[in-house]
Structure 1
Amino acid sequence: MASSSETVQRTNQIVGRRRWWALATVMLTMFFSSMDQTVVSTAIPTIVSKLNGLNLYSWLFSAYMMASAVTVPIYGKLSDVFGRKPFYIFGLVMFGVGSAISGLSHTMLELVIARGIQGIGAGAMMSMPRATIGDIFDPKERGRWMGVIGAVFGLSSIIGPALGGWITDSLSWRWVFYINLPFAVLALIGVIVTLPRVRAEHRVQVDWFGALLMIIGLIPILLGFTWAGTKYAWGSSQIILLFVVGVVLLVLFLLWERRAKEPVLTPTLFKSRIFTMSLILGIFMMMGMFGSMMYLPTYVQGVIGLNATNSGFLLSPMMISFIVASVISGQIMTRTGRYVRLANVSSAIIIVGFILLATLNVNTHFWSVIIYMVVLGLGIGALMPLLNVAVQNAFPYEMMGTVNSTQQFVSSLGGVIASPIFGSVLNNGFQHKLNETMPAQLNAMKSTLSSLDPQALLTAQAQHALKSKFASMGSAGQTLYNQLIHAVKVSLTTGVHHLFLVGLIFGCLTFIGTFFLPEVRLKGKEYFASSDRASGDAPIGQKPQVE
């Protein structure tokens, strides 16, 4: 098997027994890279406390997210030319180096820089696995295996919080980063052994200037969405300036790409209705999903009363339903070769999930929340792999990396955009209702309380400090404290209600969009056989098959 890894090929296609080892490598890479996010999230409060870095708290996520997002399309394009293998290796090495430096960090700034290095590696690990699945299976088979890949993602999301909590409590927060190293080594060995080396058919002129222009255009836009509603107001001059600069640079990037011989983002991709509609549907779906996953634990802690650890497990039932739906959806696509009706049904289930979540109130039982999340998970789990397969099926095999990475890049932007939007919706609804429901006796404290966001007001430390303050008021203090906490719960429920109404809007847009998604019957073995690049008849970067 080792000798086969040295074989030089003209395509990325993986055949024979080696493809099963390649599949195992892909699943291992996806498992530990996706688990890393949930493991780290659990340890964040401890990390911030140990390193005294509350002012840089958000950058632990932002540095990683930005570095990975801007590199995804670059990896995808280059991997179509030079093969997946070198970029897999580079990504795993960078991720491992970033993990090691993260564990050794002694200041918050060092950790933020290390997370950026991790993100550069994560960009490869986000884009390469899905492309490699395309190298192993034809589109018809791919539906089944995309469902399994979705299951790996869901399983890692279930295991991550528990593992992160155990590591932080039993060992040290540093080990949430060190634990990546053995996984990275195993994945690196698998990549070296199982993935082929690919020889470019002709000298390729890499569009480095276009890549640089894209990166410097995306950074101010990502910063704008990261800071909007938190560090600066949405309409502030700082945020507007960031968006304007970013848009101008991206317009220049698009103009440049139209002239480039080997563009990073191939403009002709967007002539395909399948590609364009899949991107739009992916953004709507990701925005709705991120809104529910990020802020529902806040409601469970603040209104239902679970502690932070137990509320983290709230997402487990949703992930289990996500896994089940992904597998079933993949099986249906493989057997029928079709996907549009399945997209209609999946998005309808998403709407039902958001409608149920929008009914949450102060008296909602925990098990009702679980059921609602399961319904939403079924819809998202069925739709997500479907969009991936539909796009891959619509283009020639030689464009697999470019198509995959562009789709994943745009979906990542949906998550980036969702976070500040949903955060603002939750905070505004909370503050407005809190002002209405605050007990009259506490008017003097309104200015103090209104400066707090829901998450801060509902932490154990904040509530203990409030309780101590009310205790000094005598016997009436406890009554006032109880009235305040009830007002907080009602206000938080209002904010969450508004949040899921916005999610419902995205769900409805997703449902409507599925009716504009063209259907091309999923290809079988002929997908690889008809590849022009495989036969050496056409250069890399040819125009895609367009509807």
Structure 2
Amino acid sequence: MNEISRASVGFRSERGPILIALMLTTGLVAIDATILATAVPSIVRDLGGFASFPWLFSIYLLAQAVSVPVYAKLSDTVGRKPIVLAGIGLFFLGSVLCGFAWSMPALIAFRALQGLGAGAIQPMSMTIAGDIYTVAERAKTQGYLASVWAISSVVGPTLGGLFSQFLSWRWIFFVNVPLCILAAWMLIRSFHETIEPKKHRIDYAGSALLTAGMSLLILAVLEGGQAWAWDSVWSIGAFALGALLLVAFALVERRAAEPVMPLWVLSRRLLLTTTLISLGIGAILIGLTSYVPTYLESTVGAPPLVAGLAVAALTLGWPIAASISGRFYLRIGFRSTALLGTSIAIVGTIILAATSVHPSVLFVAVSCFVVGLGMGLVATPTLIAAQSSVAWSERGVVTGTNMFARSIGSAVGVAVFGAIANAIILSSTGGAHSPAAVQGASTAVFTAVAVVAALTIVAGLAMPRLRVEDVEFGRAPAAAD
């Protein structure tokens, strides 16, 4: 059965409503990623638990990251539609419960439920887009999906501030309710799949080992140097047990009939290099979005809104470049386009690091915009190349692995950049909150981000040279090994 009939979306008129639904579902995750930060002071005043509030972000990231591979494999088994609808349902339930949370521990638990929903929504949106659009069309489609993040980077903090100031922080969760209902309704109405009936053997053991192992490793990375010292028993134990569980996972996957994450995903050259590039993308994004606002607020006294808009320039450049990246990879190929994008991103990060000693909102905004342009020319072509190199029955796993790698890159990036910043601040004589300390720490982080961008280009150089014609007609796997 061909891929178009699997998705039952042969007519262009049917794809428009589906794309709108995908943009709306992506918006759920994108807005949630930015709306909460501005409401944290209000939440702490109401519920208490100031020492625990970082878990509102950590638990969400953890739940999202570890669930992506499981959802991705299931989507290749039972179809995309039930998985994305299940994700929307979990996100809906988590949002309602978060809105009624009575304590900080309860809110943290319900944020985990939201994260489990987000783990299905984002990769499934990109996978469905890969199913229903051709290789030549996917760049513009991914540009539309990326534009949702650009809009959300402005709308999210604004709504969070308005709800916290004039209504209640609980509305930052309740606002998801109508959005979830509308997104689910549009997908149910517009997106139809025809899946061949087939008996499947679910890889329960592999799913459990992967989830537990990655949970421990991500937890150790997120909380190392924060909740406990890097050389503490807790930290060493979490790393050791997590690594041991992943070794057991690899052994189980070699013998599983339908492994949740087939080992061939990392044995094919194209998929391995695009996964490594996605790791770098995750680290670069978290480094800039986490430290640029604090840097501007502390050094030049920029208001939070202005600081947020400066970093939003990154998410403005991204969809612009993503939407036109098709013109590049159709002419010069996926590898050359990714190398061009990485080179542009390196230039942006170097400008940011070099000018950070002379704080300026304008310089930061321009640098972030340049990095965004580069990321749009890297993330979209590499994802499309990976998706297009496999059949429908493998595309969910490949997309999920790409998104999973980005989440891991963000988690590791948070830990590494945080350790760098803390080391600079502790050695500063001006105190942890002095502009000089923050400026020094930010400069070090921006330099580290530039190094990550440079390492990412190494993975780009290792990508196989593929023609668009190869992936369009399914000949890429042999060429990409």
With the shorter chain as reference, the TM-score category is: over 0.9
Match of 2:137 in 1: 141
Residue 48 (1) aligns with residue 75 (2): no
Match of 1:482 in 2: none
- Aligned AA (2:325): S
Q: Secondary structure of the equivalent of 1:11? A: helix
Deviates most, 501-510 or 16-25: 16-25
Distance 1:362 1:266 in 2: 47
In the TM superposition, residue 398 of structure 1 has moved relative to its aligned partner by 2.3
Q: 1:236 aligns with which of 218, 232, 235?
A: 232
Distance 1:163 1:314 in 2: 18
In the TM superposition, residue 526 of structure 1 has moved relative to its aligned partner by 5.8
| Structure 2 unaligned residues grouped into runs of 5+ | none
Distance 2:397 2:8 in 1: 15
Residue 70 (1) aligns with residue 57 (2): no
- Aligned AA (1:515): L
Asked if the contact 1:338/1:521 (under 8 Å) is kept, the reply is yes
Distance 2:40 2:326 in 1: 35
Match of 2:405 in 1: 410
Residue 520 (1) aligns with residue 466 (2): yes
1:457-485 superposed Cα distances (whole Å, 9 cap, x missing partner): 3xxxxxxxxxxxxxxxxxxxxxxxxxxxx
- Aligned AA (2:461): F
Match of 1:157 in 2: 153
Match of 1:497 in 2: 443
Match of 2:453 in 1: 507
Distance 1:385 1:140 in 2: 12
Over 3 Å counting, the alpha-carbon distance change for 1:510 and 1:159 in structure 2 is same
Match of 2:103 in 1: 107
Distance 1:383 1:159 in 2: 25
Asked if the contact 1:161/1:313 (under 8 Å) is kept, the reply is no
- Aligned AA (1:138): T
Q: Report matched runs for 1:196-207 at 5 Å.
A: 196-207=192-203
In the TM superposition, residue 29 of structure 1 has moved relative to its aligned partner by 0.7
- Aligned AA (2:9): I
Q: Secondary structure of the equivalent of 1:324? A: helix
Asked if the contact 2:9/2:191 (under 8 Å) is kept, the reply is yes
Residue 401 (1) aligns with residue 396 (2): yes
Q: Secondary structure of the equivalent of 2:351? A: helix
Distance 1:139 1:76 in 2: 20
- Residues matched between the structures, number: 477
Distance 2:276 2:261 in 1: 17
1:307-359 superposed Cα distances (whole Å, 9 cap, x missing partner): 333322222222222222222223433x4372222111111111111111112
Match of 1:375 in 2: 370
Distance 1:523 1:122 in 2: 33
Deviates most, 142-151 or 224-233: 142-151
In the TM superposition, residue 166 of structure 1 has moved relative to its aligned partner by 1.5
Identity of aligned residues (%): 30
1:158-200 superposed Cα distances (whole Å, 9 cap, x missing partner): 2211122122212110000000000100011012112224434
Asked if the contact 1:148/1:327 (under 8 Å) is kept, the reply is yes
Q: Report matched runs for 1:398-547 at 5 Å.
A: 398-432=393-427, 434-435=428-429, 438=430, 449=431, 454=432, 457=433, 488-523=434-469, 527=473, 546-547=480-481
1:206-233 superposed Cα distances (whole Å, 9 cap, x missing partner): 1112111111111111110111111112
Residue 189 (1) aligns with residue 185 (2): yes
In the TM superposition, residue 45 of structure 1 has moved relative to its aligned partner by 2.1
Distance 1:350 1:337 in 2: 19
Residue 316 (1) aligns with residue 312 (2): yes
Asked if the contact 2:139/2:324 (under 8 Å) is kept, the reply is no
In the TM superposition, residue 519 of structure 1 has moved relative to its aligned partner by 2.6
Distance 1:311 1:210 in 2: 43
Q: 1:89 aligns with which of 81, 85, 89?
A: 85
Distance 2:452 2:66 in 1: 25
Match of 1:537 in 2: none
In the TM superposition, residue 377 of structure 1 has moved relative to its aligned partner by 1.6
Residue 33 (1) aligns with residue 45 (2): no
In the TM superposition, residue 10 of structure 1 has moved relative to its aligned partner by 6.8
**Larger Rg, first or second structure (1 or 2):** 1
